[in-house]
Every structure is written in structure tokens, then in C-alpha cells.
């Protein structure tokens, strides 16, 4: 992760060296992501809920006359939630939810086009980094009559680094001290996030995950 940050900063500096009239700006970012789900039907109706992770971080922007180059690093925390409905053949209804907190780092490089003084579409690439991308755990459930139901579950985010591309728009509100820039983007990861493979006691299978398409909304706070 440290090497990727260093390489991104070097890329920003080397790309900017071709422009004589440019300057750096520094700022903070706060916002949310929206992760939608893709759940396969299964005998227990196990499903992942959509997630809205909170994120915060900082960025470095190299400003030019017509375009800006930007590198940002944010930290996100989310509630990974699943619902269960243990209703299968002779078993009685038994519904419950479970959740745990999860986190990831997001490193992003953007090219920002200045269409006018305030409105700015952008395009970028980035990567989501998770230090602990997956685990394996067996689960044993009991219904109201004490009958045990066995299923094994494996959660795996395939790789620690999940790369993506994104595009969006921002609008700059200027002031004497701090500029505020609302930012809306649409991203597409190369692999699904938090892939969950489930093997049930009757040898049936199901795969749950977040979709590759995701949305982000944030505010940039830029120091003048």
C-alpha cells in the first residue's frame, strides 16, 4: 500500500512537470459510498444488505489552466449486514439479521477538466485495499425445535487490491479561506466486492456479493 501511494505521488509530479504555470492545492474529503448487492436465490434466503460506508481522507491537486491532476487517499468504514430466513421444508420460520463492521482504503487518481470556472467533470482510476480480504467459517443453526441446520460459509474478496475506473462531476464554491466542492461519481470495479460463497448441508450453493457498479458522493474542502 505504501509503494502505491509513493508511485501515485511520483506520477502526479512527473505528469505535472510538463506544465510551467501550475500550483499545488491540498484539501480534505468526507462523504459516502453506495454499494448495491447481487444475491443468488438460496434455501435460507440469505442476502447481503446494500451498504453505505462513511469515508474521510485527504488529497493533493496539481492545478493547470485547463485541467487539474489529483491524487486522493480515503479511509472507509461500513456495516456488512446479512439477513437470514431459515424456512426450509419441515423447519419453522426463523428470521434474523447479523452484521459486523468492515473497513478499506481507497486510493484514486483523477484528471479533472475545467469546462468553466466552477463546473468540472472528471475521469479516474483507483484501487480499493483491504488488509484482511476474506475468511472462512462454518455455521451451525438451530430452529425453534432444536433441529440443527449446518451450512459452511466462505467470504473472500479475491484480491487485496480491487482496481476500478470512475467518472463524475463536481462544482466548486469559492470563498476567501476554504473552497467547498460537492462531488458525485460513478465507479466500476474489476471484481465484485466481498464475494460470499455458501455451501449448504443439502449440497446446494449460493454466491452473494456487492455489485461492480458503485456510487460515491463527497465534499472536498480545499485550502486557499
2-11+34-223, which class in CATH?
mainly beta
What pLDDT does 159 receive? 65
Alpha-carbon gap, residue 171 to 173, rounded angstroms: 7
What does the pLDDT look like over 160-176, one tens digit per residue?
789 999 999 999 998 88
CB atoms within 10 A of CB 164: 20
Q: Cβ neighbours of residue 32 under 8 Å, at least 6 residues apart?
A: 52, 53, 54, 55, 216, 217, 218
pTM recorded for the entire structure: 0.77
Highest mean pLDDT among 18-22, 128-132, 166-170: 166-170
Q: Is the pLDDT of residue 194 over 70?
A: yes
Alpha-carbon gap, residue 56 to 70, rounded angstroms: 16
Amino acid at each position: 500500500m505504501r509503494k502505491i501511494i509513493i508511485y501515485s505521488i511520483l506520477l502526479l509530479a512527473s505528469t505535472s512537470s510538463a506544465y510551467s504555470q501550475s500550483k499545488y492545492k491540498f484539501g480534505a474529503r468526507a462523504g459516502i459510498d453506495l454499494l448495491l448487492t447481487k444475491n443468488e436465490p438460496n434455501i435460507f434466503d440469505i442476502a447481503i444488505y446494500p451498504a453505505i460506508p462513511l469515508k474521510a481522507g485527504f488529497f493533493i491537486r496539481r492545478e493547470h489552466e485547463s485541467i487539474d491532476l489529483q491524487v486522493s487517499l480515503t479511509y472507509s468504514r461500513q456495516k456488512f449486514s446479512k439477513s437470514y430466513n431459515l424456512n426450509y421444508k419441515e423447519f419453522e420460520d426463523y428470521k434474523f439479521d447479523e452484521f459486523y463492521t468492515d473497513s478499506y482504503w481507497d486510493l484514486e487518481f483523477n484528471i479533472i477538466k475545467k469546462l468553466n470556472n466552477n463546473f468540472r467533470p472528471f475521469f479516474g482510476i483507483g484501487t480499493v485495499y483491504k488488509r484482511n480480504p476474506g475468511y472462512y467459517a462454518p455455521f451451525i443453526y438451530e430452529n425453534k425445535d432444536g433441529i440443527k441446520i449446518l451450512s459452511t460459509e466462505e467470504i473472500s474478496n479475491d484480491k487485496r487490491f480491487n482496481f476500478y475506473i470512475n467518472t463524475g462531476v463536481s462544482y466548486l464554491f469559492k470563498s476567501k479561506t476554504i473552497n467547498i466542492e460537492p462531488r458525485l461519481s460513478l465507479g466500476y470495479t474489476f471484481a465484485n466486492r466481498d464475494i460470499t460463497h455458501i455451501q449448504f448441508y443439502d449440497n446446494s450453493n449460493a454466491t452473494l456479493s456487492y455489485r461492480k457498479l458503485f456510487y460515491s458522493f463527497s465534499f472536498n474542502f480545499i485550502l486557499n
